Amino acid sequence: MAEPQNFSECVDKLLDDFKLYDKTVDLVSCWEFFYTKVAPVRDRILHFDRFPRLVPAQENERDRKTPDFAVLVSDSYGLVGDVKSGFPLEEAAFLRHLERLKKYDRSLSFKRNEKGETTSPTTHDILLIIPIRDSQEIVLRIESLLSNGMVTFERKLIVLEWVYDSDEYIFRRVAGQIADFNDSSVPEEVRLSKHFTSRGRSLKISPDDIKLIKAKWQFCNDEPKPIYTIVFLWTKIFYHLLDERQREVWRRKNPQKELPIDVTVGRLVEEISRYPMEWGHWTDWVTKALNTLVIAGLAREIGDGRYVVDYRNLTKEVGEPGHPAAGSRSAYHPAEYARILATYICRGLHDKKRKTEAQDELQGQGKLPFLEQASPPNNATDE
């Protein structure tokens, strides 16, 4: 996607980032639902891992692999699932994208229970989950690269496509791929080869099925974009860092009043752990979120790793939203945090860009990309 050139494109881009992450949370939740709530599947597997940090079993490699989910079906078979929002068109970039999946193509230690014990199954399959939009073309290109020997996988790489239709998320195996699940060692009920390949069935899961799973975890194993983390901090965490006197101000007087919160990354991470979220790179994520709040003008860095966040109820600052019944349906946008915070961030970036451009004009240097500060280079769904 091209970098946004103006303010409204910037807001739309941040909102897209927000929605993309939320969508990935949904998709992972669908698979958690399948493996933990559907009988007899939930009774036939050993463990579903929503936040896997898989250690290569036989190598001296210390890097943990973090797919979107992992399932230890039995001592002999596992599944690694990765959700991607798409593949690049350009050939070399496409190949690089595909090769990133090779990090899962090795013997890995899967979590086998909540105590953290692990098992390296005899084999595992790699499940690539992509939107239906370009799935056929992507599979054809992958097959072509595999047959040409441009890329090789020791394990099976299976591509599933997903679509949201008739109030359900629908997953099915993309037609035209040669590889099939290597799951003959496990009971029939949990063989995806039986459900998806032999019987040609689709997995259909509604948002109603996954709502509690989603509310429980809020995040998935991918790194969230700062806008997503900020909304979480603003609506669920910051309030708990106010002192009693500050809370009293909002209770009795004006909830729009700005209340400064003097905070460090460590203190925020500690507060987040009440959720509990031990699995993420919270120190990094919170640091990026705070730095983005600084750009947005909603926080200041005051040295020694400390920040002051000007916390308040932002939703009432931008006026009352329209209402469908009032005839403003098409223009209706709720005064809600993702949009409001995106507006603040883009305003901050815009001001920064203008300042930089003014300096560049003076110094004859290049321009600051509009979103350089707000978006880290990696894609939330693709890591």
Partner 1 sequence: MPKQLQLAGGEFVGRWRDTLALCAGVCARNKRAKIFFATFFSEKAAPTLLAGLSRAINLTTKTDYWLASSVRGGEKGGAKLRFGLFQSGHDAWTAFTLTKTVANEDALLRLLRLLSPNFSEAYLTSSDIRSIFEALEERAGVKVSVNKAVAYSHRREGQISFFKNEAYHTVFNKAENEGKFVDKVDFSLTGPHFLHGFVARNGGAKFMAGDIELFQDSILSPIAQISSNKHGVFRASSRQPGSTEVSAIDIQFGETAFQGREDDLAFISSLDRMARSGIAVLHENPYVHVSLIDFFDGSAFDIFATSRKAVTIVPQVGASPFSLNRLCNHIFENFREGMIAKPEEKVWTLEEVLA
Q: Which of residues 41-70 bind partner 1 (CB under 8 A)?
A: 41-42
Q: Which of residues 130-169 bind partner 1 (CB under 8 A)?
A: 164, 167
Tell the residue number behind the tokens 């039986």, with chain if given: 194
Q: Which of 136, 335, 350, 376 binds partner 1 (CB under 8 A)?
A: 335
CB of 277 to partner 1, least distance (A): 10
CB of 164 to partner 1, least distance (A): 7
Q: Which of 182, 291, 315, 356 binds partner 1 (CB under 8 A)?
A: 315
Closer residue to partner 1, CB minimum distance, 70 or 340 = 340
**Tokens representing 147?**
């047959």
Closer residue to partner 1, CB minimum distance, 96 or 247 = 247
Q: DSSP readout, 164-178?
A: EETTEEEEEEPTT--
Half-sphere exposure of 149 (CA within 13 A, CB side): 0
**Tokens representing 75?**
């001592």
| Helix or strand (DSSP H, E) at 259 | strand 259-264
Q: Which stretch binds partner 1 (CB under 8 A): 86-94, 298-306, 311-319, 370-378?
A: 311-319
Site track 166-205 with partner 1 (rule: CB under 8 A), x = hit: -x---------------------x-----x-----xxxxx
Closer residue to partner 1, CB minimum distance, 123 or 313 = 313
Nearest CA to 28 out of 284, 213, 288 is that of 213
Q: Is 275 in the site for partner 1 (CB under 8 A)?
A: yes
**Tokens representing 76?**
């002999």
Q: Is 324 in the site for partner 1 (CB under 8 A)?
A: yes
Q: Which of 176, 305, 334, 369 binds partner 1 (CB under 8 A)?
A: 334
Beta strands in 155-209, from DSSP E residues, in sequence order: 157-165, 168-173, 203-205
Contacts with partner 1: how many residues (CB under 8 A)?
64
Q: Which of 140, 178, 212, 318 binds partner 1 (CB under 8 A)?
A: 212
Nearest CA to 32 out of 71, 75, 84 is that of 71
User: Hey, what amino acid is at 185?
Assistant: S
Q: Is the peptide bond before 377 cis (omega within 30 degrees of 0)?
A: no
Instruction: DSSP letter for 56, please.
Output: E
Q: Which stretch binds partner 1 (CB under 8 A): 125-133, 232-240, 302-310, 361-369?
A: 232-240
Q: Which of 70, 101, 298, 338 binds partner 1 (CB under 8 A)?
A: 338
Q: DSSP readout, 60-79?
A: S--PPB--SEEEE-SSSEEE
CA dist., res. 83 & res. 161, Å (int): 10
Closer residue to partner 1, CB minimum distance, 95 or 242 = 242
Judge whether 256 and 317 are in contact, CB under 8 Å.
yes
Residues that bind partner 1 (CB under 8 A): 18-19, 22, 26, 33-34, 37-42, 164, 167, 189, 195, 201-209, 211-212, 214-216, 218, 231, 234-236, 239-240, 242, 247, 250-251, 255, 273-276, 313-316, 320-321, 323-326, 329, 332, 334-339
